[in-house]
Amino acid sequence: MITLRMARPADAPAIARLHVQVWRSTYQGLATPAAYAALDEPRRLSQWQEKLQQPGTAQVLLAESAGQLVGFCLVDAPSHPQFGEHAEIKSLFVSHKHQRQGIGHRLLGAAAREMQKLGYSSIALGVVEGNDGAMRFYRALGGAPAGNYIDPGPLWLSSNVIYVWPDIRHLAAVK
């Protein structure tokens, strides 16, 4: 059984560990070797500790199975001008063992509901070009390609495709 909940500061180590595991397998061959090597667990832990202690609009939702973290989603106000007024899904990661079980879909639905409460009527995300599995997933959920941008990274200038749900209610309806 999968349960969803909001993250707490104490969740940072588990989030960092899962983030690195899934990121490294997903972006091997897409990210530069320098970015791949530098984005390790200590770096991610520092980032997650900071994110979970900051007040603001960011919402971090966790998916757990038997008390173990199996996925997470970070959604916040837009960080790039290309996202306009859309809420931005900044991260969505599900352990490879738990993919294709509806967890990503449920996390996106919960993230959309949280941002809807904050007054957002639409939602978007960026997908690294070449991450074809993610692009198929977002299209299957009704996301529409709406442009491209270069993410300045801190370590990697990645080319991204923006997917938009112009009516946040479509994702928010997913339970």
Q: What is the pLDDT of residue 49?
A: 96
Q: How many C-beta neighbours within 10 Å does residue 53 have?
A: 9
What is the model's pLDDT at position 54? 86
Predicted confidence at residue 65, as pLDDT, reads 95
Tokens 């990697």 map to which residue?
A: 156
Answer for the pair 141, 134: CB distance below 8 angstroms, yes or no. no
pLDDT at position 80: 86
Q: What confidence score (pLDDT) does residue 29 get?
A: 87
Distance from the first to the final alpha carbon of the chain: 14
**Token pair for 103:** 């967890």
Q: Are 20 and 39 within 8 A, CB to CB?
A: yes
> Measured on CA atoms in the order 37, 7, 78, 85, is the torsion positive or negative?
positive
pTM: 0.94
Q: Rg of the Cα trace of the chain?
A: 15
Domains and CATH numbers, the chain: 2-172 (3.40.630.30)
pLDDT (tens, 9 = 90+) of the chain, 175 residues, equals: 999 999 999 999 999 999 999 999 999 889 988 888 888 999 999 999 999 998 787 999 999 999 999 999 999 999 888 899 999 999 999 999 999 999 999 999 999 999 999 999 999 999 999 999 999 999 999 999 999 999 887 788 899 999 999 999 989 998 7
